[in-house]
Amino acid sequence: MLNKQHIIDRFLCYVKIDTESDPKSNTTPSTKKQWDLANKLYEELMAIGMTDVSIDDNAYIMATLPSNVDHEVPTIGFISHFDTSPDFTAANVNPQIVENYDGSDIVLSKDENIVLSPNYFEDLLLYKGQTLITTDGTTLLGADDKAGICEIVTAMEYLIQHPEIKHGTIKVGFTPDEEIGRGAHKFDVEKFGADWAYTMDGSQVGELEYENFNAASAKVTFKGKIVHPGYAKGKMINSMHFATEFITMLPQLETPEHTEGYQGFFHLHDMSGRVEETNLQYIIRDHDFNKFEARKALMQKIANDMNEKLGKPIVDIEIKDQYFNMKEKVEPVMHIVNIAEDAMKALNIKPLIKPIRGGTDGSQLSYKGLPCPNIFAGGHNFHGRYEYVPVESILKATQVICKIAEITQERYK
């Protein structure tokens, strides 16, 4: 039986360490503070009895739990990231614990009138009677993906303490900078040595995902010319007006707040501007590769058409691919998804097989030769002040890891 308080204490310890990543940095990890948790995890893996524990110069952590059976079993892995999103502050996280949640509003901050309400976040009602860990309304929580790390470390600890649970060799890996799209960039798949792996980076209990967005970023720059406004006729070029025109020329309903399921989008997530220069930062997402390519082409065409109409290079656009849909790499080895599905069913967890409206390290790792579906870690409302995680969900995800290990060795007897 997993110790609930032990898991709570471990999770709280992780989230109180600020590991926010920085997309503007060129180092790996992108922030020095990620080392604080990385070094702690290295020591913790050593302490619980893992072997071959390593941490490299870029803070990638790997460790091994040796097989305890005498027959050949494929080596499986479990992976999570320890950075948190730069979308919202992770400094001074002050978690709140709500015991036996009754389905009512949760006041996160009385002083600032910040309320986590099931009237807006309906998923809360799935967890009535459970123990919730929330923010205090001023930071994110960091369940993405410190819940996943907690689950993996706890599962390994439990398997070490319970050798009666039979399993093959298990590898674990923890990565920096997943939130800025670089988590798998320097991940050494050959060193990791697994035949396949699972990222513990999903949300709701039961989530099991092997499809994700194709993803790209776009930086659109508009050049203007500043002149005293009293003498500006025929001379001033206001870059902000052209940026506004560009925004309105994209499909207005193809944005995150208007899409779901397999529907892709254009997401304007940052903008800054003055008369002389305005910058727009977009992410482009679609599950279908042809539609993904069409989205990139549309943005390029709008920029080209604006320049042609204006008769000068006012608009510059730079589009960079980030990652691709892992479905192509996982479908040929669907038995690895089936094992995870069977593990959930054995624990009376209803599998929710659906596409990820985002990406994980697993999408890039799958293209590097390590097929890597994604499993729920339990958190909700990631990247903001309304983030929360039910403790019971962390417990269930931990049990799923153990059960996958057990079922895998059974299949290969």
Which among 203, 255, 201 is positioned nearest to 364, based on CA atoms?
A: 201
Q: Which two tokens stand for residue 97?
A: 């614990």
102, 128 contact by CB (below 8 A) = yes
Radius of gyration of the chain (CA): 23
Helices 34-48, 143-161: axis angle to 10 degrees equals: 10
Peptide bond into 56 cis (omega under 30): no
Of 18, 20, 22, 83, the active-site residue reads 83
Distance (Å) of CA 173 to CA 61, 157, 194, 211 = 5, 15, 10, 21
404, 76 contact by CB (below 8 A) = yes
Q: Which two tokens stand for residue 179?
A: 């939130």
Amino acid at 262: Y
Of 145, 151, 157, 178, the active-site residue reads 178
User: Which residues does 206 contact at the CB level (< 8 Å), separation at least 6?
Assistant: 344, 349, 350, 351, 352, 376
Is 178 noted as a catalytic residue in this protein?
A: yes
410, 13 contact by CB (below 8 A) = no
> Which residue numbers are catalytic?
83, 178
